[in-house]
């Protein structure tokens, strides 16, 4: 007798930006991404629901100092770290998030709590009060390399638009966009997505990231999307919600990516996105040089690290 269960799907990203420096750089990022994929997919096979799997994946990526979220977040122009994160349950079509929160290890945990709150998006002071309410310990996410990066930019009066996407100088050149994201389709067909970031680095105090908006993180019962790249570009395209709505209206996921990225290319946008549809299709796309993403389609793991330059959209279709 059929159990009614399907093969789970999973895709994650660790940012988008300029080219990784050689095979060693790609291999180092790949190891980090595959470690997360392996743990989260095992949870999905054991029956973990989509939202819980997304939260765990985001925690693991936030805890990896290589990526710009949680530990390893970039510093803003005043030398402070302010992080943003959001979580969306596609089954309930419920969004929650925090904006510019400091002194917390895993911003995604605050977004998790807000899923059941009447007030589902909190900014800096509200998020700080929530931390106190939950009795979460204060945590300093600063790493030595991010501090050194900020000091060097201060000497140059912050002439760069943003910090490095990966917190290792030997892996990636300076111009990059760092965000982490997780998208899941669980064994019961439920979709969820989470996105977390330290921002773009060196930005004006109070700047708000797309990662805490439906523009950068969105899901319903038909598709789920997480974005990375230039937040302002993602917001102006309302990229995540645009792709999801197209799928909801009947467009295949890959076609929704293709249409959305073609439109964005004409406006010279700079970003990437990952997503899963309810039919099990996994898709990704980028206008940046590289997209640091990896996936598990139920049969094997794969990644996007060796995609060529320029705008591209691809998908992976496998059995449910």
Tell whether the model's pLDDT for residue 300 goes beyond 90.
yes
Task: Kindly provide the b/e burial profile for residues 201-220, where b requires at least 16 CB atoms within 10 angstroms of the residue's own CB.
Answer: bbbeeebbbbbbbbbbbbbb
Residue count (the chain) = 320
Q: How far apart are the first and last CA of the chain?
A: 17
Burial of 172 (0-12, 13-18, 19+ CB in 10 A): buried
Summarised one tens digit per residue, pLDDT across range 50-78 is 999 999 999 999 999 999 999 999 999 99
Mean per-residue pLDDT for 156-172? Answer: 56
- Nearest by Cα to 296 from 220, 186, 221, 211: 186
Share of the chain above pLDDT 90, in %: 81
Across the chain, mean pLDDT equals: 91
Give the pLDDT score at 31.
95
Tell whether the model's pLDDT for residue 164 goes beyond 90.
no
**Residues with catalytic function:** 179
Report DSSP letters for 138-174, one per residue: P-----HHHHHHHHHHHHTTS-SSS--SBS-TTTB-S
Summarised one tens digit per residue, pLDDT across range 107-137 is 999 999 999 999 999 999 999 999 999 999 9
Confidence of residue 160 (pLDDT cuts 50, 70, 90): low
Confidence of residue 163 (pLDDT cuts 50, 70, 90): low
Give the pLDDT score at 310.
85
Share of the chain above pLDDT 70, in %: 91
E strands in 37-141: 83-89, 94-101, 121-122
């Amino acid at each position: 007798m059929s159990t009614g269960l399907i093969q789970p799907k999973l895709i994650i990203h660790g940012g988008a930006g300029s080219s990784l420096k050689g095979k060693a750089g790609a291999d180092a990022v790949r190891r980090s991404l595959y470690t997360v994929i392996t743990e989260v997919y095992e949870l999905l096979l054991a029956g973990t629901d989509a939202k819980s799997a997304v939260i765990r994946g985001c925690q693991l990526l936030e805890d990896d100092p290589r990526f710009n979220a949680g530990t390893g977040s970039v510093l803003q122009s005043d030398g402070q770290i302010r992080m943003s994160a959001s979580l969306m349950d596609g089954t309930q079509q419920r969004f929650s998030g925090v904006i510019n929160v400091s002194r917390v290890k895993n911003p995604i945990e605050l977004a998790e709590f807000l899923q059941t709150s009447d007030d589902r998006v909190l900014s800096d002071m509200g998020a700080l009060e929530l931390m106190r309410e939950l009795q979460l310990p204060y945590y300093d996410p600063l790493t030595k390399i991010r501090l050194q990066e900020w000091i060097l930019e201060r000497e140059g009066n912050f002439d760069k638009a943003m910090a490095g996407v990966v917190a290792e100088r030997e892996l990636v050149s300076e111009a990059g966009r760092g965000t982490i994201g997780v998208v899941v389709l669980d064994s019961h067909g439920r979709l969820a997505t989470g996105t977390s970031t330290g921002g773009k680095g060196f930005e004006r105090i109070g700047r708000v990231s797309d990662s805490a908006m439906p523009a950068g993180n969105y899901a319903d019962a038909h598709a789920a999307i997480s974005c990375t790249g230039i937040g302002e570009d993602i917001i102006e395209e309302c990229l995540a919600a645009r792709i999801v709505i197209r799928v909801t209206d009947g467009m295949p996921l890959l076609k929704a990516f293709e249409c959305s990225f073609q439109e964005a290319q004409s406006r010279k946008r700079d970003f990437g996105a990952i997503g899963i549809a309810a039919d099990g299709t996994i898709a990704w796309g980028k206008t940046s040089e590289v997209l640091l993403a990896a996936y598990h389609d139920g049969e094997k793991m794969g990644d996007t690290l060796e995609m060529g330059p320029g705008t591209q959209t691809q998908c992976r279709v496998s059995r449910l």
